[in-house]
Amino acid sequence: MEFSFIEILGRILTESGYAGLLADWRSLVMIAVACLLLYLGIVKKYEPLLMVPIAFGMLMANFPYTGILDEGGLFSYFYFGVEHAIYPSIIFLGIGAMTDFGPLIARPSSMLMGAGAQFGIFTAFLLALALGFSGEVAAAIGVIGGADGPTAILTASRLAPEYLPAIAIAAYSYMALIPMIQPPIMRLLTTESERKIKMEQPRAVSKEEKIIFPVAVSIIVILLIPDTAPLIGMLMLGNLFRECGVTERLSETAQNNLCNIVTIFLGVSVGCKAKADTFLTLETVEIIILGLLAFCLSTVGGLLIGKVMCKLSGGKINPLIGSAGVSAVPMAARVSQIEGQKANPANFLLMHAMGPNVAGVIGSAVAAGFMLKVFGA
């Protein structure tokens, strides 16, 4: 058998990824986009725990000739967890184990602000329909407004898998930009006197109430909208681990090691679907714009409900906490706290804002379940 070094070298060059990049310039663009997202995650710290694995998955997906996305390839197995709602549900288990629902239990009316903050979901859904998107895709786009990454991923994987990367990246980008997006809207829709309102300390919540809450929510919500079972069920199971007092090890595992491991697989799986031929489209731009609009309108909805509750309570509720009704926990609550302290340095709204904030987690899951029920996956 003759050995030709020149021939082998020629084959290596023609079959290398570099040759593939020259054949399709769009892959080069996607590699540049992936590097930009890595920069935003690492340097700017925009949701780094998910932005970094999503960006690296995108990078890997756009290397030619790897076969990593083909049936039987590594990422095809990773994506199984997204396709079957495994990863988002386990993330919700961890969120439940990290979340204290005490502020919501102490002031159940906070649920109204959490519900109001879902306004952007349904408005963006209608706008997406008007732009010509199908009902399924429009529903998946609308859920970006809930500012809940796992919920957006689950909904998109069921209803619009071809747009999953754009929807996921939009959702997590806007979650990271909450401190920039929300404050101008908050100052626009509230008066200085409203922002100065100092709220009374909420009542103490008993251990029994905290144990009963996740069980009661599971029974009421899942029986009403069965499609919410993966998210609401796992969210409440994680919270029960936290509150029942006999499963500390399970609670610690759910909110730390398990959640971190699944976050890696979730991020890489979402990123690997961002191929040039499906991502570099006009629809992607429309999704990103509609997602921003949905998020802004969700903030508006929560604030308006907060203003109504302020009036009805005789000025005892600071409407700023309504903006925390989006489900980015606890970032949205922190923004309410910061804006409240700017108006009144003696104002401490964080725990008050956590009520609408955790209500928003439940609200976005219910809204997603409603969309899944209507458009059936």
260-278 pLDDT per residue, tens: 999 999 999 988 988 888 8
Is residue 81 assigned to a domain?
no
User: 214-227, pLDDT tens digit by residue?
Assistant: 999 999 999 999 99
CA proximity to 292, closest of 322, 326, 266: 326
**pLDDT > 60? residue 1:** no
- Residue 296 included in any domain: yes
pLDDT in tens, 296-305: 999 999 999 9
With CA atoms as reference, report the closest residue to 333 among 307, 360, 369: 360
d(CA 216, CA 232): 11
What span, in angstroms and rounded, lies between the C-alpha atoms of 373 and 377? 8
The answer as to whether 293 is a domain residue is yes
Give CA 135 to chain center in angstroms: 21
Least trusted range by pLDDT, from 53-57, 83-87, 192-196, 336-340? 83-87
Task: Count the domains in the chain.
Answer: 1
What is the distance between the alpha carbons of residues 35 and 303, in angstroms, rounded to a whole number?
Answer: 36
pLDDT in the model for residue 7: 75
Encoded amino acid at 129, one letter: L
Domain membership of residue 56 (yes or no) is: no
Angle, vertex CA 330, rays to CA 176 and CA 147, nearest 5: 50
Q: What is the pLDDT of residue 2?
A: 56
Is 238 part of any domain? yes
Question: Does 117 map to a domain?
Answer: yes
Tokens representing residue 249 in the block? 């090890």
| Beta strand residue intervals within the chain, DSSP E | none
| Among 4-18, 26-40, 315-329, the least confident range | 4-18
Residue 205 covered by a domain: yes
- pLDDT per residue as tens digits for the range 153-190: 999 999 999 899 889 888 888 887 888 899 999 999 99
* Among candidate residues 317, 320, 316, the one with its CA nearest the CA of residue 340: 320
The pLDDT mean for the chain works out to: 91
- Half-sphere exposure for 94 (CA within 13 Å, toward CB): 19
Q: Quick one: pLDDT band at residue 20, thresholds 50, 70, 90?
A: confident
22 pLDDT higher than 80: no
Band the pLDDT of 3: cuts 50, 70, 90: low
User: Could you tell me if residue 13 is inside a domain?
Assistant: no
251 lies in which domain range? Answer: 87-375
